[in-house]
Amino acid sequence: MKGFGPADAAFRRALRDVLGSDNVLEDPADCWPYGYDNSRRQARPEAVGFATEAGQVRDVVRLCNEAHVPLVARGRGTGTTGAAVPVAGGLVLSLERMDRILELAPDDRLIVVEPGAINRAVQEAAATAGFFWPPDPSSADYCTVGGNLAHNSAGPRAVKYGTPRENTLGLRAVTGAGEPIRAGVRTTKGVVGYDLTRLIIGSEGTLAVITEATLRLTPLPEDRRAIRALYTDIGSAAAAIARVMAQPVTPSALEYIGGLGLDLVRDSPGVRVPPDARALLLIEVDGPAGCVADAARAVAAAAKGAGLLDIEVGGRGEDAADLWAARKALSPALRGLAPKKVNEDVAVPVSRLPAFVEGVDGLSARYRIPIVNFGHAGNGNIHTNLMVDPQESGQVERAERCLSDLFNLVLALGGTLSGEHGVGLEKRAFVTREIDPVTLEVMRRVKRELDPNDILNPGKVLPEPVGPA
Amino acid sequence: MKGFGPADAAFRRALRDVLGSDNVLEDPADCWPYGYDNSRRQARPEAVGFATEAGQVRDVVRLCNEAHVPLVARGRGTGTTGAAVPVAGGLVLSLERMDRILELAPDDRLIVVEPGAINRAVQEAAATAGFFWPPDPSSADYCTVGGNLAHNSAGPRAVKYGTPRENTLGLRAVTGAGEPIRAGVRTTKGVVGYDLTRLIIGSEGTLAVITEATLRLTPLPEDRRAIRALYTDIGSAAAAIARVMAQPVTPSALEYIGGLGLDLVRDSPGVRVPPDARALLLIEVDGPAGCVADAARAVAAAAKGAGLLDIEVGGRGEDAADLWAARKALSPALRGLAPKKVNEDVAVPVSRLPAFVEGVDGLSARYRIPIVNFGHAGNGNIHTNLMVDPQESGQVERAERCLSDLFNLVLALGGTLSGEHGVGLEKRAFVTREIDPVTLEVMRRVKRELDPNDILNPGKVLPEPVGPA
């Protein structure tokens, strides 16, 4: 299956009938911009449709299902794994015009939104009632809730507040067979029928197209405090992470930057990192105004120990922002240094962080590729950046072998290949290393029931079966 | 399909081969005790097997799948919906001897247990490292983790800490086709493949038999405070619940007892409830020692408002226990009064609690059945007890009609038929009122893929399809 095939003209006409001519792009030049994501991969869809309401999504999916046309649901294309790239051609169904906030119910701690709503817009709407939705990927200003749900995208706050799976009450969605389903509830407890909500979350548009989400809200904390701790080595920092996670105050962020990352930002304005520091922890606590100072003291006490070079507990506002200077300076520095960097987001159990970082250092040396580690240490979720220079002979090939070894290392440590970016195209070939063939076969059967003709985002998430299915 | 059928002797022999003769009960008198649960329903299995390791579970499921013998996985039978009652005959596979705690990893905030481990034993093991597992059903002293997962059983702490779905990282399980699968991760983030973990949680043993669970642990709070607030009417109490849930300190419990429940316990030792009180809230906050007093003040301030009669903020230990006297006295009082009470556990959005309680009062009057409401108000999860007296002419029939109207009321208010007890047999006939036919059909297809011969707990959760499947 690739492209519209013989159904071409009739299919295009039917598509325009459902969406309206103004909501369909067919010129290849117009279609190109809807074929990329932040993985820098790109493929041209044969058409792009814009849905404005759920009934259109249902009708478009039915059209595609009948004509066996691939359909890739798309938010704003901020994903990093190629999950939104239409590698099988077909139709990209953009949900960016379905961006309404349908209901804000603060007494019930929930907000109902369309999938194209921007994360930031949801946060702003919730804030008017004193709430927030915990998932906060770094692209929150322009990524959509639908994309967040498709990838189970989290961000730094997940260490305290969880991922979309813990913060979504229910969904409306359309299966690959064009069936409109309603999963979940409007309450924080509910156990009638099977949990299709979380089955669809994280499935990267391969099981159903989300048309509405009921999100669970959390009250905005009254206050917050930032803590910055510098260590002589990763082992000391990792021990501190484990101590912080073992005491009763769960931080609202627990971010890590490794030695090479610190080298990159040492000279940036406001950063103040001494040369012997090889690991930095940025910790945030939040809560009631009367408690955050105590909470910060408890966390800072846990962060202290062997290898600590310096610890600062910030005040509010600008003072706290200062402590985050190193983290904020890092991403631009990385982009400037290695435009072709490979950004992985593996996760390992917190106790295995020292072994992980030691292992990564070994791989970096063996394959002669600088590797910058930073990320959400409280979840063991480390963004591992291979600083690949395509000009340097053989480095791309060495990077591939390095990545392969890196994944083996992560799995040997009891970790997972993706904490929050997802599989998409980037990690599809490696899924069989994490998921055994029997479990994978069960997932394939589930996929078949929700998307019998394999039209929804074909070629993603689950690897092709080996041999006869 | 019912019973062992023609495969009888061979099947029994094979079963003994897998489990050992000492681990198989075949005498009907021995089998009876494994055919009930706390729903007071009972059915006799044709045999009872006790597994002691995961390989046996796999082999027994395979035997049953080949011979088309129903298999009901069983913990300790504390469920209230008949989910563990083997209505189709066949084999009860008891997991009570698979009760080992396999690994406690405090640095990774997790514990790995077998399904037969008692909830209390898990709490005690976790507490040795300063942690707890949030789900705390009232049967925690004798219910199993496997049963908790099968029903997504929560309890009062869920308002702050979530249900099993939010507190389980991964599972090992055996599908109805006898396939051993591994779902989930050992980290708090992970998005590789589909979320089979939460699909299996809450499925009441109809999709797979859980053989191992990796549970997410939370640090034990340093301290806690109880607050008791009495109101003139449910409307005032419900407004207070919404105010409490809208401020930044989420309570660790927010329990409600309605007027009739208060009447039942008014004269119990230590209860001290004035006659004009028609609603009681029991609120608990927990957290770092230095914060709980402030947290209690914030929650108490939110609990104050129109209709408040009295509010007490307790100290620690016995002082706090005093405030819970009314809640503790209620269950024995209910059992004494109406041994045939019908205990429902519907949930409605918090904002709809006043409409719900008003509606229940109306049903109680119309059908002349006393109804006692109490439960987990912070989740909108109200245990609605119909005090049925089977001796009184026509009351059983009236109760049935009352229940039917009650469910319609709950759904009209945007609620769910079960917050945490599950569907089992009790609510199976009503599932079609909550879940639409299209969604139900998708669930049936998922069931078919995980349990192709419908051997796992047949006759539960999903209603029979109407007409040809």
Bridge partners of A381?
A: A347, A376
What confidence score (pLDDT) does residue B1 get? 46
Between strands A371-376 and A253-258, the pairing is antiparallel
**What's the CA gap between A403 and A384, in Å, rounded?**
10
Band (pLDDT 50/70/90 cuts) for residue B338 is confident
Residue position matching structure tokens 């099977």: A194
Closest partner CB to B248 (pick from A288, A380, A439):
A288
Contact call for B186 and A415, based on CB within 8 A: yes
What confidence score (pLDDT) does residue A468 get? 47
Closest partner CB to B248 (pick from A221, A381, A420):
A221
Q: Which residues contact B429 (CB under 8 A, 6 or more apart)?
A: B463
Average pLDDT over residues B278-284: 95
The yes-or-no verdict on residue B469 having pLDDT over 50 is: no
Nearest chain A Cα distance for residue B422, angstroms: 5
Contact call for B181 and A438, based on CB within 8 A: yes
What confidence score (pLDDT) does residue A319 get? 63
Average pLDDT over residues A304-311: 96
Instruction: With 0.90 as the threshold, say if the pTM is over it.
Output: yes
**What's the CA gap between A189 and B374, in Å, rounded?**
16
Q: What is the pLDDT of residues B81-99, one digit of tens each?
A: 999 999 999 999 999 999 9
- Three-state secondary structure call for residue A395: helix
CA angle centred on B402, ends B399 and B407, rounded to 5° = 125
Minimal-distance CA residue of chain B relative to A251: B219
Contact call for A287 and B248, based on CB within 8 A: yes
Contact call for B191 and A423, based on CB within 8 A: yes
Q: Which of A47, A64, A51 is nearest to A23 (CA)?
A: A51
**Sheet bearing A47-50, strands edge to edge:** A24-25, A47-50, A91-94, A71-74
Q: Looking at per-residue confidence, does A328 or B33 come out higher?
A: B33
Contact call for B107 and A350, based on CB within 8 A: yes
Closest partner CB to B349 (pick from A186, A442, A450):
A186
Q: What is the pLDDT of residues A236-279, one digit of tens each?
A: 998 999 899 888 889 999 999 999 999 988 888 888 888 899 99
Average pLDDT over residues A190-209: 97
Contact call for A159 and B440, based on CB within 8 A: no
Q: What is the mean pLDDT of chain A?
A: 92
Closest partner CB to B162 (pick from A154, A166, A381):
A166
Residues of B with CB below 8 A from A442's CB?
A: 175, 179, 181, 196, 449-450
Phi and psi at B75, nearest 5°, equal -95, -105
Residues of B with CB below 8 A from A221's CB?
A: 248
Between strands B308-313 and B381-386, the pairing is unpaired
**What's the CA gap between B162 and B154, in Å, rounded?**
7
What confidence score (pLDDT) does residue A469 get? 40
**What's the CA gap between A254 and A157, in Å, rounded?**
8
**What's the CA gap between B287 and B222, in Å, rounded?**
6
In this structure, the dihedral spanned by the alpha carbons of residues A173, A179, A180 and A182, taken in order and rounded to 10 degrees, is -70
Residue B440 vs residues A77, A197, A434, A442, B445: alpha-carbon distances, Å = 32, 13, 31, 20, 9
Average pLDDT over residues B162-177: 98
Band (pLDDT 50/70/90 cuts) for residue B4 is low
CA angle centred on A200, ends A196 and A206, rounded to 5° = 135
Band (pLDDT 50/70/90 cuts) for residue A122 is very high
Q: What is the pLDDT of residues A88-105, one digit of tens each?
A: 999 999 999 999 999 999
Question: Do the Cβ atoms of B2 and B43 come closer than 8 Å?
Answer: no
Nearest chain B Cα distance for residue A404, angstroms: 16
Average pLDDT over residues B375-393: 90
Task: Decide if the complex's ipTM is over 0.90.
Answer: yes
The yes-or-no verdict on residue A162 having pLDDT over 90 is: yes
First to last CA, chain B: 17
**What's the CA gap between B393 and B26, in Å, rounded?**
41
* B3-12, B80-89, B238-247, B437-446: the lowest-pLDDT one: B3-12
Contact call for B191 and A351, based on CB within 8 A: no
Residues of B with CB below 8 A from A244's CB?
A: none
Q: Which of B162, B196, B166 is nearest to A165 (CA)?
A: B166
In this structure, the dihedral spanned by the alpha carbons of residues A434, A439, A443 and A445, taken in order and rounded to 10 degrees, is 150
Residues of A with CB below 8 A from B298's CB?
A: 288
Residues of A with CB below 8 A from B246's CB?
A: 106-107, 109, 129-130, 219
Nearest chain B Cα distance for residue A168, angstroms: 11
Residues of B with CB below 8 A from A154's CB?
A: 189
Minimal-distance CA residue of chain B relative to A190: B419
Average pLDDT over residues B413-442: 95
Interface size A-B, in CB pairs within 8 Å, comes to: 312
Average pLDDT over residues A271-295: 90
Contact call for A193 and B441, based on CB within 8 A: no
* B122-126, B219-223, B290-294, B310-314: the lowest-pLDDT one: B290-294
Neighbours of B38 (CB within 10 A): 17
User: Which DSSP string do the residues of B439-451 spell out, in sequence order?
Assistant: HHHHHHHHHHHH-
Contact call for B106 and A246, based on CB within 8 A: yes
Closest partner CB to A248 (pick from B221, B419, B441):
B221
Band (pLDDT 50/70/90 cuts) for residue A179 is very high
Question: Do the Cβ atoms of A211 and A54 come closer than 8 Å?
Answer: yes
Band (pLDDT 50/70/90 cuts) for residue B327 is confident
Give Rg (Cα) of chain A. Answer: 23
- Three-state secondary structure call for residue A156: coil
What confidence score (pLDDT) does residue A334 get? 82
Q: Looking at per-residue confidence, does B266 or A411 come out higher?
A: A411
Contact call for B379 and A220, based on CB within 8 A: no
**What's the CA gap between B188 and B105, in Å, rounded?**
13
Nearest chain A Cα distance for residue B263, angstroms: 28
Residue position matching structure tokens 């970096």: A364
Which amino acid is residue B300, in one-letter code? Answer: A
Residues of B with CB below 8 A from A437's CB?
A: none
Q: Looking at per-residue confidence, does A3 or B244 come out higher?
A: B244
Contact call for A436 and B154, based on CB within 8 A: no
Residues of A with CB below 8 A from B422's CB?
A: 191
**What's the CA gap between A200 and A210, in Å, rounded?**
8
Look up residue A442 and give its two tokens: 């069960």
Give the rounded percent of residues in chain B with a pLDDT score beyond 90: 80
Closest partner CB to B194 (pick from A130, A420, A443):
A443
**What's the CA gap between B372 and A162, in Å, rounded?**
35
Minimal-distance CA residue of chain B relative to A163: B189
| Residue of A131, A174, A188 to mutate for B, most B C-beta atoms under 10 A | A188
Nearest chain A Cα distance for residue B6, angstroms: 30
Which amino acid is residue B139, in one-letter code? Answer: S
Question: Do the Cβ atoms of A11 and A24 come closer than 8 Å?
Answer: no
Nearest chain B Cα distance for residue A301, angstroms: 13
Contact call for B108 and A351, based on CB within 8 A: yes
Minimal-distance CA residue of chain A relative to B180: A438
Average pLDDT over residues A109-133: 97
What confidence score (pLDDT) does residue A7 get? 58
Question: Do the Cβ atoms of B294 and A290 come closer than 8 Å?
Answer: yes
Nearest chain B Cα distance for residue A56, angstroms: 18
Minimal-distance CA residue of chain A relative to B205: A194
Residues of B with CB below 8 A from A420's CB?
A: 189, 191
Q: Using CA of residue A187, residue A192, residue A196, residue A199, what is the dihedral sign?
A: positive
Neighbours of A336 (CB within 10 A): 9
Nearest chain B Cα distance for residue A181, angstroms: 5
Residues of B with CB below 8 A from A182's CB?
A: 435-436, 439
Q: What is the pLDDT of residues A217-231, one digit of tens each?
A: 999 999 999 999 999
Contact call for A219 and B185, based on CB within 8 A: no
* A233-247, B105-119, B146-160: the lowest-pLDDT one: A233-247
Minimal-distance CA residue of chain B relative to A450: B442
Look up residue B144 and give its two tokens: 């199993």
Nearest chain A Cα distance for residue B190, angstroms: 4
Nearest chain A Cα distance for residue B416, angstroms: 6
Give the rounded percent of residues in chain A with a pLDDT score beyond 70: 96
What confidence score (pLDDT) does residue A317 get? 60
Look up residue B202 and give its two tokens: 């809450």
The yes-or-no verdict on residue A195 having pLDDT over 80 is: yes
Band (pLDDT 50/70/90 cuts) for residue B3 is low
Residues of B with CB below 8 A from A159's CB?
A: 188
Q: Looking at per-residue confidence, does B391 or A42 come out higher?
A: A42
Band (pLDDT 50/70/90 cuts) for residue A2 is low
The yes-or-no verdict on residue B13 having pLDDT over 50 is: yes
Contact call for A423 and B192, based on CB within 8 A: yes
